Chains A and B, each alone.
Chain A
Protein backbone atom coordinates (compact mmCIF):
# COMPACT_ATOMS: atom_id res chain seq x y z
CA UNK A 1 0.00 0.00 0.00
CA UNK A 2 2.57 2.58 1.17
CA UNK A 3 6.29 2.27 0.95
CA UNK A 4 7.36 1.76 4.55
CA UNK A 5 10.14 4.13 5.60
CA UNK A 6 13.25 2.56 7.09
CA UNK A 7 13.99 2.78 10.78
CA UNK A 8 16.19 5.86 10.52
CA UNK A 9 13.47 7.65 8.59
CA UNK A 10 10.87 6.65 11.20
CA UNK A 11 13.09 7.95 13.98
CA UNK A 12 13.43 11.23 12.13
CA UNK A 13 9.64 11.45 11.76
CA UNK A 14 9.28 10.80 15.50
CA UNK A 15 11.74 13.62 16.25
CA UNK A 16 9.72 15.99 14.09
CA UNK A 17 6.47 14.85 15.75
CA UNK A 18 8.02 15.70 19.12
CA UNK A 19 9.00 19.15 17.86
CA UNK A 20 5.42 19.63 16.64
CA UNK A 21 4.08 18.63 20.06
CA UNK A 22 6.34 21.15 21.82
CA UNK A 23 5.37 23.91 19.40
CA UNK A 24 1.64 23.11 19.63
CA UNK A 25 1.56 23.09 23.40
CA UNK A 26 3.70 26.19 23.72
CA UNK A 27 1.37 28.07 21.36
CA UNK A 28 -1.76 26.69 23.03
CA UNK A 29 -0.51 27.45 26.52
CA UNK A 30 -2.00 24.21 27.82
CA UNK A 31 -2.27 20.54 26.94
CA UNK A 32 -0.88 17.14 27.85
CA UNK A 33 2.85 17.15 27.35
CA UNK A 34 4.20 14.05 29.10
CA UNK A 35 1.84 11.46 27.64
CA UNK A 36 2.09 12.93 24.14
CA UNK A 37 5.88 12.63 24.16
CA UNK A 38 5.81 9.11 25.62
CA UNK A 39 3.42 7.93 22.89
CA UNK A 40 5.18 9.55 19.91
CA UNK A 41 7.27 6.55 18.84
CA UNK A 42 4.33 4.15 19.20
CA UNK A 43 2.17 6.35 16.98
CA UNK A 44 4.91 6.74 14.38
CA UNK A 45 5.52 2.98 14.28
CA UNK A 46 1.79 2.40 13.84
CA UNK A 47 0.86 5.08 11.33
CA UNK A 48 4.05 5.16 9.26
CA UNK A 49 5.08 1.52 9.56
CA UNK A 50 2.32 -0.89 10.50
CA UNK A 51 -1.10 0.40 9.49
CA UNK A 52 -2.61 -0.13 6.09
CA UNK A 53 -4.32 2.90 4.59
CA UNK A 54 -4.80 4.61 1.25
CA UNK A 55 -3.40 8.11 0.87
CA UNK A 56 -6.15 10.38 -0.41
CA UNK A 57 -8.93 8.02 0.66
CA UNK A 58 -9.22 8.36 4.44
CA UNK A 59 -12.59 6.57 4.47
CA UNK A 60 -11.40 3.47 2.61
CA UNK A 61 -13.59 0.80 4.29
CA UNK A 62 -10.83 -1.80 4.37
CA UNK A 63 -8.34 0.49 6.13
CA UNK A 64 -6.71 -0.44 9.39
CA UNK A 65 -8.27 1.43 12.27
CA UNK A 66 -6.83 3.30 15.23
CA UNK A 67 -8.47 4.44 18.45
CA UNK A 68 -6.60 6.76 20.82
CA UNK A 69 -8.18 5.55 24.03
CA UNK A 70 -5.81 7.76 26.02
CA UNK A 71 -7.42 10.79 24.41
CA UNK A 72 -5.18 13.26 26.23
CA UNK A 73 -2.41 12.15 23.87
CA UNK A 74 -4.24 14.20 21.22
CA UNK A 75 -1.30 16.50 20.38
CA UNK A 76 0.84 13.55 19.26
CA UNK A 77 -2.11 12.10 17.32
CA UNK A 78 -2.84 15.41 15.59
CA UNK A 79 0.81 15.91 14.68
CA UNK A 80 0.83 12.45 13.05
CA UNK A 81 -2.43 13.05 11.18
CA UNK A 82 -1.20 16.41 9.88
CA UNK A 83 2.03 14.85 8.64
CA UNK A 84 -0.03 12.19 6.84
CA UNK A 85 -1.99 14.94 5.10
CA UNK A 86 -5.36 14.62 6.80
CA UNK A 87 -5.35 18.39 7.31
CA UNK A 88 -2.86 21.26 6.76
CA UNK A 89 0.01 21.41 9.25
CA UNK A 90 -0.76 25.08 9.99
CA UNK A 91 -3.85 23.83 11.85
CA UNK A 92 -1.58 22.36 14.51
CA UNK A 93 -0.93 25.83 15.87
CA UNK A 94 -4.66 26.34 16.50
CA UNK A 95 -4.78 23.47 19.03
CA UNK A 96 -7.35 24.07 21.81
CA UNK A 97 -8.40 27.48 20.46
CA UNK A 98 -12.01 28.49 19.96
CA UNK A 99 -13.13 27.39 16.49
CA UNK A 100 -10.16 25.06 15.94
CA UNK A 101 -10.55 21.70 14.25
CA UNK A 102 -8.20 20.41 16.97
CA UNK A 103 -10.14 20.07 20.21
CA UNK A 104 -8.47 19.52 23.57
CA UNK A 105 -9.35 15.85 23.29
CA UNK A 106 -10.11 14.02 20.02
CA UNK A 107 -13.50 14.81 18.48
CA UNK A 108 -14.42 12.96 15.29
CA UNK A 109 -16.92 15.70 14.47
CA UNK A 110 -14.10 18.22 14.15
CA UNK A 111 -10.91 16.51 13.04
CA UNK A 112 -10.35 14.62 9.77
CA UNK A 113 -8.83 11.21 10.46
CA UNK A 114 -10.17 10.91 14.01
CA UNK A 115 -12.57 7.95 14.18
CA UNK A 116 -14.44 8.64 17.41
CA UNK A 117 -14.41 11.03 20.36
CA UNK A 118 -12.16 9.91 23.22
CA UNK A 119 -10.81 11.53 26.34
CA UNK A 120 -12.98 9.99 29.02
CA UNK A 121 -10.66 7.15 29.93
CA UNK A 122 -11.33 3.44 29.80
CA UNK A 123 -13.65 3.38 26.81
CA UNK A 124 -11.46 2.85 23.76
CA UNK A 125 -10.85 -0.86 24.12
CA UNK A 126 -14.57 -1.66 23.97
CA UNK A 127 -14.88 0.50 20.86
CA UNK A 128 -11.92 -1.29 19.28
CA UNK A 129 -13.57 -4.62 20.09
CA UNK A 130 -16.71 -3.48 18.27
CA UNK A 131 -14.63 -2.43 15.26
CA UNK A 132 -12.86 -5.80 15.30
CA UNK A 133 -16.19 -7.64 15.35
CA UNK A 134 -17.49 -5.46 12.52
CA UNK A 135 -14.37 -6.09 10.43
CA UNK A 136 -14.81 -9.82 10.94
CA UNK A 137 -18.50 -9.69 9.96
CA UNK A 138 -17.71 -7.51 6.95
CA UNK A 139 -15.03 -9.91 5.81
CA UNK A 140 -12.49 -7.08 5.83
CA UNK A 141 -8.88 -7.90 6.43
CA UNK A 142 -8.48 -4.71 8.41
CA UNK A 143 -6.69 -4.73 11.73
CA UNK A 144 -7.77 -2.65 14.70
CA UNK A 145 -5.28 -0.82 16.93
CA UNK A 146 -5.96 0.92 20.20
CA UNK A 147 -3.55 2.87 22.39
CA UNK A 148 -4.20 2.80 26.13
CA UNK A 149 -2.58 4.78 28.90
CA UNK A 150 -1.24 2.79 31.81
CA UNK A 151 -3.14 4.84 34.39
CA UNK A 152 -6.19 4.39 32.18
CA UNK A 153 -6.31 0.65 32.69
CA UNK A 154 -7.32 1.29 36.30
CA UNK A 155 -10.80 1.81 34.79
CA UNK A 156 -13.06 -1.21 35.27
CA UNK A 157 -14.42 -1.09 31.72
CA UNK A 158 -10.96 -2.00 30.42
CA UNK A 159 -11.22 -5.36 32.14
CA UNK A 160 -14.75 -5.93 30.89
CA UNK A 161 -13.36 -5.34 27.41
CA UNK A 162 -10.30 -7.50 28.12
CA UNK A 163 -12.69 -10.37 28.83
CA UNK A 164 -14.88 -9.84 25.79
CA UNK A 165 -11.97 -9.47 23.32
CA UNK A 166 -10.63 -12.85 24.47
CA UNK A 167 -14.12 -14.39 24.57
CA UNK A 168 -14.72 -13.44 20.94
CA UNK A 169 -11.18 -14.39 19.91
CA UNK A 170 -10.42 -11.04 18.30
CA UNK A 171 -7.11 -11.81 16.61
CA UNK A 172 -7.49 -8.75 14.38
CA UNK A 173 -7.10 -6.54 17.46
CA UNK A 174 -3.86 -5.13 18.88
CA UNK A 175 -3.88 -3.05 22.05
CA UNK A 176 -0.81 -1.12 23.12
CA UNK A 177 -0.28 0.19 26.64
CA UNK A 178 1.89 3.29 26.91
CA UNK A 179 3.56 2.08 30.12
CA UNK A 180 5.17 5.33 31.29
CA UNK A 181 4.49 4.54 34.97
CA UNK A 182 3.14 7.98 35.80
CA UNK A 183 -0.32 9.42 36.18
CA UNK A 184 -1.56 12.83 37.31
CA UNK A 185 -1.16 12.26 41.02
CA UNK A 186 2.17 10.45 40.84
CA UNK A 187 3.60 7.00 40.14
CA UNK A 188 1.05 4.37 39.10
CA UNK A 189 2.66 2.07 41.68
CA UNK A 190 1.71 4.56 44.40
CA UNK A 191 -1.67 5.75 43.12
CA UNK A 192 -3.05 2.29 42.19
CA UNK A 193 -0.72 -0.60 41.46
CA UNK A 194 -0.95 -2.25 38.05
CA UNK A 195 1.65 -4.97 38.45
CA UNK A 196 1.98 -7.72 37.64
CA UNK A 197 0.73 -6.25 34.39
CA UNK A 198 1.77 -8.72 31.67
CA UNK A 199 0.55 -11.77 33.65
CA UNK A 200 -2.83 -10.05 34.10
CA UNK A 201 -3.36 -9.79 30.35
CA UNK A 202 -2.02 -13.28 29.75
CA UNK A 203 -4.42 -14.60 32.39
CA UNK A 204 -7.26 -12.81 30.61
CA UNK A 205 -6.46 -14.85 27.50
CA UNK A 206 -4.38 -12.34 25.55
CA UNK A 207 -1.17 -12.85 23.60
CA UNK A 208 1.09 -10.48 25.52
CA UNK A 209 4.47 -9.05 24.57
CA UNK A 210 6.65 -6.41 26.21
CA UNK A 211 8.81 -3.98 24.26
CA UNK A 212 10.83 -0.81 24.65
CA UNK A 213 8.23 1.69 23.46
CA UNK A 214 10.85 4.07 22.18
CA UNK A 215 12.61 1.56 19.91
CA UNK A 216 10.66 1.65 16.69
CA UNK A 217 12.23 -1.53 15.36
CA UNK A 218 11.05 -3.40 18.45
CA UNK A 219 7.55 -2.01 18.07
CA UNK A 220 7.40 -3.00 14.38
CA UNK A 221 8.64 -6.50 15.21
CA UNK A 222 5.95 -6.81 17.89
CA UNK A 223 3.20 -5.75 15.48
CA UNK A 224 4.48 -8.32 13.00
CA UNK A 225 4.51 -10.96 15.73
CA UNK A 226 0.89 -10.09 16.61
CA UNK A 227 -0.22 -10.60 13.01
CA UNK A 228 0.71 -14.26 13.30
CA UNK A 229 -1.41 -14.79 16.42
CA UNK A 230 -4.66 -16.66 15.77
CA UNK A 231 -7.76 -16.93 17.93
CA UNK A 232 -6.91 -14.33 20.56
CA UNK A 233 -6.24 -10.61 20.88
CA UNK A 234 -2.78 -9.15 21.32
CA UNK A 235 -1.44 -6.79 23.97
CA UNK A 236 1.82 -4.94 23.54
CA UNK A 237 3.09 -3.46 26.79
CA UNK A 238 5.31 -0.65 25.56
CA UNK A 239 7.69 0.51 28.28
CA UNK A 240 8.11 4.24 27.84
CA UNK A 241 9.31 7.35 29.63
CA UNK A 242 6.81 10.10 30.21
CA UNK A 243 8.05 13.31 28.59
CA UNK A 244 10.53 11.33 26.46
CA UNK A 245 12.97 13.34 24.37
CA UNK A 246 13.41 16.39 26.60
CA UNK A 247 15.47 15.84 29.76
CA UNK A 248 13.61 18.33 31.95
CA UNK A 249 10.24 16.71 31.21
CA UNK A 250 11.31 13.09 31.47
CA UNK A 251 9.73 10.89 34.15
CA UNK A 252 8.10 13.78 35.97
CA UNK A 253 4.39 13.60 36.86
CA UNK A 254 4.13 17.40 36.95
CA UNK A 255 4.48 17.55 33.17
CA UNK A 256 1.39 15.35 32.63
CA UNK A 257 -0.89 18.22 31.76
CA UNK A 258 1.07 21.43 31.42
CA UNK A 259 2.52 23.36 28.52
CA UNK A 260 6.19 24.36 28.50
CA UNK A 261 7.03 27.89 29.59
CA UNK A 262 9.32 29.96 27.39
CA UNK A 263 12.55 28.72 28.98
CA UNK A 264 11.43 25.10 28.85
CA UNK A 265 10.26 25.59 25.28
CA UNK A 266 13.67 26.88 24.17
CA UNK A 267 15.49 24.08 25.94
CA UNK A 268 13.15 21.50 24.40
CA UNK A 269 13.82 22.81 20.90
CA UNK A 270 17.58 22.70 21.57
CA UNK A 271 17.49 19.13 22.87
CA UNK A 272 15.30 17.89 20.03
CA UNK A 273 17.60 19.61 17.53
CA UNK A 274 15.25 22.06 15.87
Chain B
Protein backbone atom coordinates (compact mmCIF):
# COMPACT_ATOMS: atom_id res chain seq x y z
CA UNK B 1 0.00 0.00 0.00
CA UNK B 2 1.37 3.38 -0.97
CA UNK B 3 1.74 6.25 1.48
CA UNK B 4 -1.34 8.31 2.24
CA UNK B 5 -1.79 12.07 2.57
CA UNK B 6 -4.84 14.21 3.19
CA UNK B 7 -5.45 16.88 0.58
CA UNK B 8 -6.73 19.34 3.19
CA UNK B 9 -3.55 18.94 5.28
CA UNK B 10 -1.33 19.41 2.24
CA UNK B 11 -3.31 22.54 1.37
CA UNK B 12 -2.76 24.00 4.83
CA UNK B 13 0.95 23.27 4.91
CA UNK B 14 1.55 24.56 1.39
CA UNK B 15 -0.37 27.74 2.13
CA UNK B 16 1.82 28.40 5.18
CA UNK B 17 4.91 28.01 2.97
CA UNK B 18 3.52 30.26 0.25
CA UNK B 19 2.82 32.94 2.84
CA UNK B 20 6.52 33.73 2.95
CA UNK B 21 6.86 33.82 -0.84
CA UNK B 22 3.76 35.93 -1.43
CA UNK B 23 3.44 38.86 1.00
CA UNK B 24 0.03 39.62 -0.51
CA UNK B 25 -1.54 36.26 0.39
CA UNK B 26 -4.20 36.65 3.07
CA UNK B 27 -6.31 33.83 4.46
CA UNK B 28 -9.91 33.88 5.68
CA UNK B 29 -11.81 31.17 7.47
CA UNK B 30 -15.24 30.76 9.06
CA UNK B 31 -14.44 29.18 12.42
CA UNK B 32 -13.10 25.97 10.88
CA UNK B 33 -9.39 26.74 10.61
CA UNK B 34 -8.49 23.54 12.45
CA UNK B 35 -10.51 21.45 10.01
CA UNK B 36 -9.69 23.29 6.79
CA UNK B 37 -6.04 23.42 7.95
CA UNK B 38 -5.66 27.17 7.48
CA UNK B 39 -4.45 27.25 11.10
CA UNK B 40 -0.95 26.46 9.79
CA UNK B 41 -0.96 29.83 8.01
CA UNK B 42 -2.67 31.58 10.92
CA UNK B 43 0.09 30.55 13.32
CA UNK B 44 2.85 32.09 11.20
CA UNK B 45 1.08 35.08 9.66
CA UNK B 46 -1.27 36.28 12.37
CA UNK B 47 -1.82 39.72 10.85
CA UNK B 48 -2.76 38.20 7.47
CA UNK B 49 -5.27 35.69 8.80
CA UNK B 50 -8.90 36.74 9.30
CA UNK B 51 -11.33 34.55 11.12
CA UNK B 52 -14.74 35.80 10.00
CA UNK B 53 -16.70 33.71 12.46
CA UNK B 54 -19.59 31.52 11.38
CA UNK B 55 -20.58 33.87 8.57
CA UNK B 56 -19.81 32.43 5.15
CA UNK B 57 -21.56 35.15 3.15
CA UNK B 58 -19.47 37.84 4.85
CA UNK B 59 -16.41 35.62 4.39
CA UNK B 60 -16.82 35.63 0.61
CA UNK B 61 -17.64 39.33 0.42
CA UNK B 62 -14.66 40.26 2.57
CA UNK B 63 -12.40 38.06 0.45
CA UNK B 64 -13.71 39.88 -2.63
CA UNK B 65 -12.89 43.26 -1.07
CA UNK B 66 -9.40 42.10 -0.15
CA UNK B 67 -8.84 40.98 -3.75
CA UNK B 68 -10.10 44.35 -4.95
CA UNK B 69 -7.54 45.95 -2.64
CA UNK B 70 -4.70 44.02 -4.30
CA UNK B 71 -4.44 41.07 -1.94
CA UNK B 72 -4.50 37.35 -2.84
CA UNK B 73 -7.19 35.97 -0.56
CA UNK B 74 -7.61 32.26 0.13
CA UNK B 75 -11.06 31.72 1.67
CA UNK B 76 -11.70 28.41 3.36
CA UNK B 77 -14.54 26.62 5.06
CA UNK B 78 -16.40 23.36 4.46
CA UNK B 79 -17.37 22.76 0.82
CA UNK B 80 -21.06 22.62 1.76
CA UNK B 81 -21.13 26.07 3.33
CA UNK B 82 -18.69 27.73 0.92
CA UNK B 83 -20.61 26.75 -2.19
CA UNK B 84 -24.09 26.34 -0.71
CA UNK B 85 -24.57 29.08 1.87
CA UNK B 86 -22.48 31.63 0.00
CA UNK B 87 -23.20 30.65 -3.60
CA UNK B 88 -24.78 33.95 -4.52
CA UNK B 89 -21.96 35.95 -2.98
CA UNK B 90 -19.53 33.91 -5.05
CA UNK B 91 -21.66 34.34 -8.15
CA UNK B 92 -22.43 38.06 -7.88
CA UNK B 93 -19.12 39.35 -6.63
CA UNK B 94 -16.26 36.91 -7.12
CA UNK B 95 -17.22 35.27 -10.42
CA UNK B 96 -19.12 38.18 -12.02
CA UNK B 97 -16.41 40.59 -10.86
CA UNK B 98 -13.71 38.11 -12.01
CA UNK B 99 -11.86 38.70 -8.75
CA UNK B 100 -8.65 37.05 -7.65
CA UNK B 101 -10.19 34.99 -4.85
CA UNK B 102 -9.16 31.40 -4.16
CA UNK B 103 -11.91 29.40 -2.49
CA UNK B 104 -10.38 26.26 -1.05
CA UNK B 105 -13.09 24.20 0.60
CA UNK B 106 -12.52 21.06 2.61
CA UNK B 107 -14.81 18.19 3.50
CA UNK B 108 -16.10 17.48 0.02
CA UNK B 109 -18.01 14.27 -0.63
CA UNK B 110 -19.24 11.36 1.49
CA UNK B 111 -15.76 10.63 2.87
CA UNK B 112 -16.52 13.39 5.39
CA UNK B 113 -17.99 10.34 7.13
CA UNK B 114 -19.63 10.41 10.52
CA UNK B 115 -20.87 14.04 10.40
CA UNK B 116 -23.51 12.83 7.97
CA UNK B 117 -25.62 14.26 5.19
CA UNK B 118 -25.70 17.90 6.36
CA UNK B 119 -21.92 18.16 6.08
CA UNK B 120 -21.21 16.04 3.02
CA UNK B 121 -21.02 18.37 0.01
CA UNK B 122 -22.26 16.42 -3.01
CA UNK B 123 -23.24 19.41 -5.12
CA UNK B 124 -20.26 21.76 -4.85
CA UNK B 125 -18.69 20.90 -8.19
CA UNK B 126 -21.99 21.46 -9.99
CA UNK B 127 -22.52 24.78 -8.21
CA UNK B 128 -19.04 26.06 -9.08
CA UNK B 129 -18.79 24.59 -12.57
CA UNK B 130 -21.80 26.57 -13.76
CA UNK B 131 -20.13 29.92 -13.00
CA UNK B 132 -18.37 31.91 -15.74
CA UNK B 133 -14.74 32.85 -14.95
CA UNK B 134 -14.46 30.18 -12.24
CA UNK B 135 -11.71 27.56 -12.38
CA UNK B 136 -12.74 24.30 -10.66
CA UNK B 137 -10.09 21.93 -9.31
CA UNK B 138 -10.11 18.71 -7.29
CA UNK B 139 -6.68 17.29 -6.49
CA UNK B 140 -6.30 13.52 -6.48
CA UNK B 141 -3.52 13.32 -3.89
CA UNK B 142 -1.00 15.23 -1.78
CA UNK B 143 1.53 16.15 -4.48
CA UNK B 144 -1.22 17.36 -6.80
CA UNK B 145 -2.69 19.45 -3.96
CA UNK B 146 0.65 21.12 -3.35
CA UNK B 147 1.06 21.81 -7.08
CA UNK B 148 -2.45 23.21 -7.42
CA UNK B 149 -2.22 25.52 -4.41
CA UNK B 150 1.10 26.84 -5.71
CA UNK B 151 -0.44 27.32 -9.14
CA UNK B 152 -3.53 29.04 -7.74
CA UNK B 153 -1.42 31.59 -5.85
CA UNK B 154 0.26 32.65 -9.10
CA UNK B 155 -2.92 32.58 -11.22
CA UNK B 156 -4.93 35.79 -11.59
CA UNK B 157 -8.65 35.03 -11.25
CA UNK B 158 -11.24 33.12 -9.24
CA UNK B 159 -10.53 29.49 -8.36
CA UNK B 160 -12.57 26.87 -6.51
CA UNK B 161 -10.65 23.92 -5.12
CA UNK B 162 -12.16 21.02 -3.18
CA UNK B 163 -10.09 19.16 -0.63
CA UNK B 164 -11.03 16.07 1.31
CA UNK B 165 -10.98 15.01 4.92
CA UNK B 166 -9.73 11.46 4.48
CA UNK B 167 -6.07 10.63 3.75
CA UNK B 168 -5.73 9.25 0.21
CA UNK B 169 -2.97 7.20 -1.51
CA UNK B 170 -0.17 9.18 -3.12
CA UNK B 171 -0.23 8.88 -6.91
CA UNK B 172 2.12 11.55 -8.20
CA UNK B 173 5.81 12.22 -7.62
CA UNK B 174 6.72 14.96 -5.25
CA UNK B 175 7.76 17.40 -7.97
CA UNK B 176 4.42 17.18 -9.81
CA UNK B 177 3.39 20.35 -11.61
CA UNK B 178 -0.16 21.41 -12.42
CA UNK B 179 -1.19 22.96 -15.70
CA UNK B 180 -4.58 24.68 -16.15
CA UNK B 181 -7.02 22.92 -18.48
CA UNK B 182 -5.17 19.64 -18.64
CA UNK B 183 -6.22 16.18 -17.58
CA UNK B 184 -3.57 13.50 -17.37
CA UNK B 185 -3.40 9.91 -18.53
CA UNK B 186 -2.17 7.86 -15.57
CA UNK B 187 -2.38 4.48 -17.28
CA UNK B 188 -2.90 3.64 -20.92
CA UNK B 189 -5.24 1.12 -22.46
CA UNK B 190 -7.50 0.83 -25.52
CA UNK B 191 -10.57 -1.10 -24.33
CA UNK B 192 -12.25 1.40 -22.02
CA UNK B 193 -11.55 4.85 -20.50
CA UNK B 194 -11.94 5.41 -16.76
CA UNK B 195 -12.13 9.11 -15.87
CA UNK B 196 -11.83 9.93 -12.19
CA UNK B 197 -11.67 13.01 -10.02
CA UNK B 198 -10.49 13.45 -6.42
CA UNK B 199 -10.47 10.30 -4.28
CA UNK B 200 -11.98 8.32 -7.16
CA UNK B 201 -8.82 8.61 -9.26
CA UNK B 202 -7.04 6.03 -7.17
CA UNK B 203 -10.11 3.80 -7.27
CA UNK B 204 -9.96 4.00 -11.09
CA UNK B 205 -6.31 2.89 -10.99
CA UNK B 206 -7.23 -0.07 -8.78
CA UNK B 207 -10.09 -0.96 -11.11
CA UNK B 208 -7.79 -0.78 -14.14
CA UNK B 209 -5.32 -3.10 -12.45
CA UNK B 210 -8.04 -5.66 -11.74
CA UNK B 211 -9.51 -5.31 -15.25
CA UNK B 212 -6.07 -5.99 -16.71
CA UNK B 213 -6.04 -9.33 -14.97
CA UNK B 214 -9.29 -10.11 -16.80
CA UNK B 215 -7.71 -9.08 -20.09
CA UNK B 216 -9.36 -5.66 -20.39
CA UNK B 217 -6.97 -2.73 -20.95
CA UNK B 218 -8.29 0.48 -19.34
CA UNK B 219 -7.02 3.98 -19.93
CA UNK B 220 -7.16 5.95 -16.68
CA UNK B 221 -7.51 9.72 -16.71
CA UNK B 222 -7.24 12.09 -13.77
CA UNK B 223 -9.63 14.91 -14.61
CA UNK B 224 -8.58 17.07 -11.68
CA UNK B 225 -9.23 20.26 -13.62
CA UNK B 226 -13.00 20.12 -14.01
CA UNK B 227 -13.15 23.62 -15.50
CA UNK B 228 -11.76 24.44 -17.97
CA UNK B 229 -12.12 20.87 -19.15
CA UNK B 230 -9.44 19.11 -21.23
CA UNK B 231 -12.05 18.18 -23.79
CA UNK B 232 -9.59 17.24 -26.51
CA UNK B 233 -8.04 14.52 -24.36
CA UNK B 234 -11.48 13.30 -23.32
CA UNK B 235 -12.78 13.13 -26.89
CA UNK B 236 -9.58 11.47 -28.12
CA UNK B 237 -9.86 8.90 -25.33
CA UNK B 238 -13.51 8.16 -26.14
CA UNK B 239 -12.58 7.74 -29.79
CA UNK B 240 -9.63 5.48 -28.90
CA UNK B 241 -11.44 3.21 -26.43
CA UNK B 242 -15.08 3.51 -27.53
CA UNK B 243 -16.41 3.27 -23.96
CA UNK B 244 -16.22 5.58 -20.95
CA UNK B 245 -16.81 5.43 -17.19
CA UNK B 246 -16.66 8.54 -15.00
CA UNK B 247 -16.20 8.34 -11.23
CA UNK B 248 -16.71 11.07 -8.66
CA UNK B 249 -17.55 11.49 -5.00
CA UNK B 250 -20.38 13.88 -5.92
CA UNK B 251 -23.87 13.67 -7.35
CA UNK B 252 -23.80 11.73 -10.59
CA UNK B 253 -25.47 14.79 -12.10
CA UNK B 254 -23.87 18.21 -12.40
CA UNK B 255 -20.24 17.29 -11.82
CA UNK B 256 -17.62 15.30 -13.71
CA UNK B 257 -20.08 12.81 -15.22
CA UNK B 258 -22.20 15.61 -16.60
CA UNK B 259 -19.21 17.57 -17.88
CA UNK B 260 -17.85 14.56 -19.75
CA UNK B 261 -21.33 13.63 -21.06
CA UNK B 262 -21.83 17.14 -22.40
CA UNK B 263 -18.58 17.05 -24.35
CA UNK B 264 -18.90 13.48 -25.62
CA UNK B 265 -22.55 13.78 -26.65
CA UNK B 266 -21.52 16.61 -28.97
CA UNK B 267 -18.21 15.27 -30.24
CA UNK B 268 -18.01 11.52 -29.80
CA UNK B 269 -20.99 9.72 -28.25
CA UNK B 270 -19.95 6.32 -26.90
CA UNK B 271 -21.47 3.98 -24.31
CA UNK B 272 -20.91 5.62 -20.96
CA UNK B 273 -21.67 5.12 -17.28
CA UNK B 274 -21.44 7.65 -14.51
CA UNK B 275 -20.32 6.54 -11.05
CA UNK B 276 -21.55 8.96 -8.40
CA UNK B 277 -24.37 9.46 -5.93
CA UNK B 278 -27.77 8.82 -7.42
CA UNK B 279 -30.18 11.59 -6.40
CA UNK B 280 -29.64 11.03 -2.70
CA UNK B 281 -28.15 12.77 0.32
CA UNK B 282 -25.37 11.26 2.41
CA UNK B 283 -25.61 9.52 5.77
CA UNK B 284 -23.31 8.95 8.74
CA UNK B 285 -20.76 6.17 8.69
CA UNK B 286 -17.09 5.38 8.22
CA UNK B 287 -15.81 6.74 4.89
CA UNK B 288 -15.00 3.26 3.55
CA UNK B 289 -18.46 2.00 4.47
CA UNK B 290 -20.09 4.96 2.76
CA UNK B 291 -18.02 4.58 -0.42
CA UNK B 292 -19.20 0.99 -0.60
CA UNK B 293 -22.79 1.87 0.26
CA UNK B 294 -23.02 4.44 -2.54
CA UNK B 295 -21.27 2.31 -5.15
CA UNK B 296 -18.06 4.36 -5.24
CA UNK B 297 -15.46 1.58 -5.08
CA UNK B 298 -12.99 0.06 -7.53
CA UNK B 299 -15.33 -2.93 -7.81
CA UNK B 300 -18.19 -0.65 -8.88
CA UNK B 301 -15.96 1.01 -11.47
CA UNK B 302 -14.94 -2.42 -12.79
CA UNK B 303 -18.56 -3.52 -13.14
CA UNK B 304 -19.41 -0.31 -14.96
CA UNK B 305 -16.38 -0.72 -17.23
CA UNK B 306 -17.49 -4.21 -18.21
CA UNK B 307 -21.02 -2.93 -18.96
CA UNK B 308 -19.92 -0.13 -21.25
CA UNK B 309 -17.33 -2.38 -22.90
CA UNK B 310 -20.07 -4.90 -23.78
CA UNK B 311 -22.23 -2.12 -25.21
CA UNK B 312 -19.51 -0.77 -27.50
CA UNK B 313 -20.62 -0.06 -31.04
CA UNK B 314 -24.32 -0.42 -30.27
CA UNK B 315 -26.78 1.79 -32.09
CA UNK B 316 -28.03 4.38 -29.67
CA UNK B 317 -30.48 5.90 -32.16
CA UNK B 318 -33.09 3.25 -31.34
CA UNK B 319 -33.93 3.03 -27.64
CA UNK B 320 -32.69 -0.26 -26.28
CA UNK B 321 -33.99 -2.22 -23.31
CA UNK B 322 -31.34 -0.60 -21.09
CA UNK B 323 -33.09 2.76 -21.42
CA UNK B 324 -35.71 3.03 -18.73
CA UNK B 325 -37.70 6.17 -17.97
CA UNK B 326 -36.80 5.96 -14.29
CA UNK B 327 -33.16 6.58 -15.14
CA UNK B 328 -33.90 10.15 -16.09
CA UNK B 329 -35.51 10.82 -12.75
CA UNK B 330 -32.84 9.26 -10.60
CA UNK B 331 -29.93 10.67 -12.55
CA UNK B 332 -28.69 7.13 -12.88
CA UNK B 333 -26.84 6.24 -16.02
CA UNK B 334 -27.60 2.82 -17.38
Task: Tell me the A residues contacting B by CB distance below 8 Å.
Answer: 61, 65, 107-109, 115-120, 122-135, 137-138, 156-157, 160-161, 163-164, 167-168
Q: Which of B47, B65, B70, B98 contacts A126 (CB 8 A)?
A: B65
Chain A proximity of B58: nearest CB distance (Å): 4
- In the bound complex, CA of A130 to CA of B60 (Å): 9
The reply to whether A108 and B50 contact each other, CB–CB distance below 8 Å, is: no
A-B contact pairs, 9 of them (CB 8 A): A115-B68, A116-B99, A120-B88, A123-B61, A126-B61, A133-B65, A137-B71, A156-B57, A161-B62
Q: Count the A-B residue pairs with Cβ separation under 8 angstroms: how many?
A: 109
Q: Within 8 Å CB of A134, what residues of B?
A: 26, 65-66, 68-71
Q: Is the CB of A160 within 8 A of B65?
A: no
The stretch of B34-42, B76-84, B89-97, B302-310 in contact with A is B89-97
Let me know if A126 and B71 touch, CB within 8 A: no
Which chain A residue has the least Cβ–Cβ distance from B89?
A: A123
Tell me if B233 is interfacial: C-beta within 8 Å of chain A: no
Closest partner residue, chain B, to A61 (CB atom)? B70
Interface of A is mostly: helix
A160 touches B58 (CB 8 A): yes
Quick check: B26 and A127 within 8 Å, CB to CB?
A: no
In the complex, besides A116-B93, A127-B64, A130-B65, 10 extra interface pairs with C-beta distance below 8 angstroms are A108-B97, A109-B98, A117-B92, A133-B65, A134-B65, A137-B48, A137-B71, A160-B53, A160-B58, A161-B61
CB distance from B18 to the nearest CB of A (A): 16
Give the chain A neighbours of B64 by CB distance below 8 A: 116, 126-127, 130
Closest to A128 in B: B65
* Chain B residues whose CB sits within 8 angstroms of the CB of A61 once the complex forms: 70
Question: Which residues on the B side are within 8 Å of A119 (C-beta)?
Answer: 92
In the bound complex, do residue A120 and residue B66 qualify as a contact, i.e. CB atoms below 8 Å apart?
A: no
Whether A127 pairs with B62 at a CB distance below 8 angstroms is yes
Distance, CA A164 to CA B69, complexed state (A) = 17
Could you tell me the distance between the alpha carbons of A65 and B64 in the complex, rounded to whole angstroms?
14
CA distance A116 to B60 in the complex (A): 14
B65–A164 touching, CB < 8 Å: no
Q: How far is the CB of A202 from chain B (nearest CB, A)?
A: 20
B185 at the A interface (CB under 8 A): no
Partner of B58, one of A135, A137, A157: A157
The reply to whether B66 and A157 form a contact with Cβ atoms under 8 Å apart is no
> Contact: B92 with A138, CB < 8 Å?
no
B67/A130 in contact, CB under 8 A? yes
Contact B98 A130 (CB under 8 A): no
Nearest chain B residue, comparing its CB with the CB of A144: B65
Smallest Cβ-Cβ distance to B71: which chain A residue: A134
